[in-house]
Amino acid sequence: MNPILASIGLLICSNVFMTFAWYAHLKEMNHKPWIIAALVSWGIALLEYLFQVPANRIGHTVLNVGQLKILQEVITLTIFVPFSVFYLKEDLKWDYLWAGLCIMGAVFFVFREKLMS
């Protein structure tokens, strides 16, 4: 399998777990003490790392660390916006679009050598 596609797939899985670890407790555990939410989040985060570490190792065979980081940010925003709107019932904001456009600019600059070759 293409290492970039493998890395993207694993990073998507990682981000789903990360987003739940970081934010789901706001909806599901807001009545529990914060320490309980933190312990549950750490358990979920372990699953995140089981995808994230191999994703970065595979991706680093063909991408540099800056490219991996920007790729991660694109995936994070792609996962976070629907999560916040559909799961947490937050309002969809124009700021998400502007943030996405800024990240697309970062994608261009970090990947321009690959894009131009």
Tens digits of residue pLDDT in 27-77:
999 999 999 999 999 999 999 999 999 999 999 999 999 999 999 999 999
Cα dihedral 53, 57, 60, 62, rounded to 10, equals -130
Average pLDDT over residues 4-28: 96
- Between CA 101 and CA 117 the distance in angstroms is 23
For the entire predicted model, the pTM comes to 0.88
CA distance 39 to 23: 13
Structure tokens at 29: 């555990």
Task: Kindly tell me if the per-residue pLDDT of 114 is higher than 90.
Answer: no
Domain map (residue ranges) of the chain: 3-116
- Averaged pLDDT for residues 93-106: 90
